[in-house]
Structure 1
Amino acid sequence: MSQTVDSFSFAKRIPATPSIGSTTVTKQDHVHLSFGFAAPHLFPIEQLSQSAAEAVTLHGRKALQYSGSVGPGQILKWIQARSQVHGIHVELDQILVTYGSTQGIDLATRILVEPGDHVWVESPSFFSALQAFRTAEAEITSFPIDEEGVRVDLIEHALLNAKQNGKPLPKFLYTMPTYHNPGGVTLSVERRKRLVQLAEIYNFFILEDDAYSELNFTGNRYPPLYTLFPERVIYLNTFSKIIAPGLRLGWIFADSNVIAKIKLLNLGGSIGVFTQEIVAKLLDGFAFQEHVDSLIDHYRQQRDVMANAVKNSFGEHVTFHLPEGGFYIWLRFADEVNTSDFLEDAANRGVSFVDGKSFYVNPEGFQYARLCFSYVSEDQIVRGVQSFADAYFAYINKAVS
């Protein structure tokens, strides 16, 4: 028996979520340059399988309880030890495991932001972070990036102006200082130092998203912002890029008082404890640095293949910054180009990408596009970039005809 169900009014703080990128490519040989995924053939499948079996066999009944067995404690100690490679020294009560770094963004936002509070971001910025800030009903202000990262001079000017004119200061600034998504740029050491000085002077937090820092193609090292001012930096990282994203494990570093407040939001107890048991078994005796080195070698080669393919297919029609690490190349077209206008044609030609406007707070960025080189093969990169270029040239030819 059918019946009519009345409409329901959901919470207004939940914003409408647009589709990000073209993910509806249906051709059999489609190429997803929009997917910011790790290369699946590099997942340590055999080691994870063995680790899962050992977690069940050795600790099964305790591992499947709310707090798990020995794994969560081992994970904390491994994260603590590994962070020292990057110059970070933390106590165990300054670490919290999360469901990936994106949950870390959400949790930090929830403890810091009331509706109407101000959050400052880079322009462009990670679209899932922007969604978290919108859901928190924050007022979002963005600042442009260049080849040395976010324009800290403009942030300083805005802070001074707000202070002098009685305007609200930000509760925090969200930044991806190393191998930025989508821009591919890295914040210079000089700007890092000035940014944390500003956080101290004006008393705001910095939310540092460091998801790609292990994927260092050049060997150049940059100090995490957390090492420069741990009292006012909340640091985020993840296993998603270095082991496998389906594990959904990341972590936060912060002052112990901040961690204590975030823990109050974990109503279900510890995060993914059985997954932590598996990962702990994996990391025990795993040649992790060799694994990371193999990731770097592969992704560097992928980057170079994509950079050459873009140059060959687009010529002088685009510019981009060659990233020192990470997953992405950020293309800039002429200012009059709107990459959203040829998303559908590119999909029909069998390739997806993310149009620039998806990464901005305001209606801008239309002349940009993000391509991901990590997920697909070299042959697919070349073919996908060419199909993307075909869609672009059809678009501009139509515009001038």
Structure 2
Amino acid sequence: MMTTPFEAFSFAKRIPSTPSIGSTTVTKPDHIHLSFGFAAPHLFPIEELSQAAYEAVSLHGRTALQYSGSGGPRKILEWIQNRSLVHGIQAELPQILVTYGSTQGIDIAARILLDPGDHVWVESPSFFSALQAFRAAEAVITSFPIDEDGLRVDLVENALLEARRQNKPIPKFVYTMPTYHNPGGVTLTTERRARLAELAETYNFFIVEDDAYSELNFTGNKYPPLYTLLPGRVIYLNTFSKIIGPGLRLGWMIADRRVIDKARLLNLGGSIGVFTQEILAQLLDRLAFQEHVDQLSQHYHKQRDIMAEAIKSSFGDHVTFHLPEGGFYIWLRFGEAVNTSDFLREAAERGVSFVDGKSFFAKPEGYHYARLCFSYVSEEQILRGVNILADAYFAYEEQRLFGVTKQRHL
């Protein structure tokens, strides 16, 4: 029987193209993924989660598996409320919305605040999934550089002054990762936080504060969440992905009640992962959470130091980077003439992946940067992976400069 092929069709224009981020193809059994922004699997609380899952089924399964779930979702809201107080955030339960990770929170914020053509201001670089969400919302994206103290708030202020003077659009919101920035690793200073909050109040825009890494603190230095400075104009996002396990796909949003009410309208299927919330509630009842977080921070702190030393040893003065106070990432800066995309494949063929810099920018720039993740891999893999990456880079450099491949010399 003859069949007629489908006619050509088009997708919605608001859906952006989504190229592969980083070189993550496994080319060898022992491939080293410095590209993966994953948590360390050996630190997952497996035994506690196993018991929590058993109790969720045996004690609450017949209600927890219904649409509205059992008592777990409310316990999770109360846990978020109480844990937020540790960081100075005071919120009533109706101000908290559980989400599918913080990335869904970014998407929700974009969908409830943006109409096509509205303006969003971001850091440069910024989290690539956030950029995709804003493109899908058909927003006009303007980016502002970061330095070792975080977002250049002075440049944001100058742009706001100029926009008002010329009667140009003010952003609907500024998206920022102020603490242990992904990918930059930098942290916004207390002074800049205060000024950004003042600008949001003066110019009447929102701040979307992505705080996914703040629990992973290596130094003990404390920074006030932007939400504490301007609760009525900050949408605060956080996640269990970095502190329990990303496979849970649970995070949360804290905002003004009117914002949360709008966000709830987008949950067409009802509450988020109610059975998963039941398991997590059982886990948090038995987990010594602060001890758990301290263990995570100590481990990732050690991983950071190992990677930093490996970079210095393998790359010498060919790269610079800011030493992050927390989080998962080191952001490498190469010479201006280097294009890190050009040795992605070479690195992958040698057995290591990383994320090239251009993936984190709203416009074509950032080619001489690269993001490395120290959380997912072992100490031995960090040392070996950084050395392999350096080999790939120096082979690229010799080819670029001289047209031949030579052994590297530091």
RMSD: 0.6
The match for 2:107 is: 106
Report how far residue 73 of structure 1 moved.
0.3
Partner AA of 1:232 in structure 2 = R
Match of 1:11? 12
Greater displacement, 6-15 / 322-331: 6-15
Residues 2-401 of structure 1 aligned to structure 2 (within 5 Å)? 2-401=3-402
- DSSP 3-state at the match of 1:111: helix
Deviations 1:99-142 (A, max 9, x none): 00000000010000000000000000000000000000000000
The 2-side partners of 1:271 and 1:28 are apart by 36
Counterpart residue identity of residue 31, structure 2: H
TM-score normalised by the chain length of structure 1: 0.99
SS for the counterpart of 1:215 is coil
Contact 2:48 / 2:286 at 8 angstroms: preserved in 1? Answer: no
Contact 1:117–1:138 (Cα < 8 Å) also in 2? yes
Amino acid at match of 2:361: Y
Give the distance between the partners of 1:164 and 1:4, measured in 2 at CA. 57
| AA aligned opposite 2:133 | A
- Equivalent-residue separation in structure 1 for 2:335 and 2:6 (angstroms): 50
Q: CA deviation at 1:285?
A: 2.6
AA in 2 matched with 1:316: D
Please list the CA deviations of residues 257-313 of structure 1 after superposition, one character each: whole Å capped at 9, or x if unmatched.
110010011100000000000000000131011110110110000000000000000
Distance in 2 between the 1:285 and 1:242 partners? Answer: 15
For residues 323 and 35 of structure 2, the distance between their equivalents in structure 1, rounded to whole angstroms, comes to 18
Measured in 1, the distance between the counterparts of 2:272 and 2:187 equals 31
The residue identity in structure 2 corresponding to 1:300 is: H
Cα distance in structure 1, aligned partners of 2:18 and 2:400 = 30
- Give the Cα separation in 1 of the matches to 2:97 and 2:190: 27
The number of residues matched between the two structures is 401
**1:217–1:325 contact (8 Å) kept in structure 2:** yes
Shift of 1:3: 3.6
Alpha-carbon shift at residue 234 of structure 1 (Å): 0.1
TM-score after normalising by structure 2: 0.97
**1:256 Cα deviation from its structure 2 partner:** 0.5
Q: CA deviation at 1:366?
A: 0.5
TM-superposed deviation, 1:399: 1.3
Q: 2 CA distance for matches of 1:286 and 1:341? A: 45
Deviation >2 Å, runs of 4+: none
C-alpha deviation, 1:348, in angstroms: 0.5
